[in-house]
Amino acid sequence: MTDSTSYWLKVDEDKDSSFISTYQVHLIRVDGILLADFLLDDYTKKKDIRLFDLHIIPVHTFAKVIIKGDKLTFKWFDGDWLKKLIRDSKVRISHEDNGEFILLTAKSYELQKFVRKYLNSEDAFKDGLEVKLTRLKK
């Protein structure tokens, strides 16, 4: 379902277009800060489909959106920072840890509380995934 806050993002993740993913992206504001909510809608892997490819779990990821001039930057929380918070018992939030990544499984209100608490923390985003987009010049 799309609405006025929805965008479709198509990502070609390699040079030969053998892996293309499509995300539904919603823009939301939390305490005045713009966030993007990414949800994988579809992906196409044109070769070498493996069994685990058929078991993708639909999850939301949230990124801080920074707009400066003609540049748009998405910054995700730093996974190592999150692991350390949980390991050191500095945050108690429902999650699953498979040793590779942490999946937050808390209820919406708990996730919103967590995001609000750390949205302005430089450490929370310091080494997280960052994607920069630049407006095309005509």
Quick check: is 70 in a domain?
yes
- Determine the structural domain holding residue 130 and report its residue range: 6-134
Quick check: is 130 in a domain?
yes
pLDDT in tens, the chain (138 residues): 556 778 888 877 666 666 777 888 999 898 899 999 988 877 665 556 555 555 567 788 889 999 999 899 999 999 999 999 999 999 889 998 888 888 899 998 999 899 999 999 999 999 988 889 888 777
Q: How many structural domains is the chain composed of?
A: 1
Quick check: is 34 in a domain?
yes
Sheet strand arrangement including 33-45: 6-12, 19-30, 33-45, 60-68, 71-76, 130-134
pTM of the predicted protein model: 0.76
Quick check: is 111 in a domain?
yes
Round to whole Å and give the CA distance between 105 and 96. 7
Quick check: is 1 in a domain?
no
Quick check: is 62 in a domain?
yes
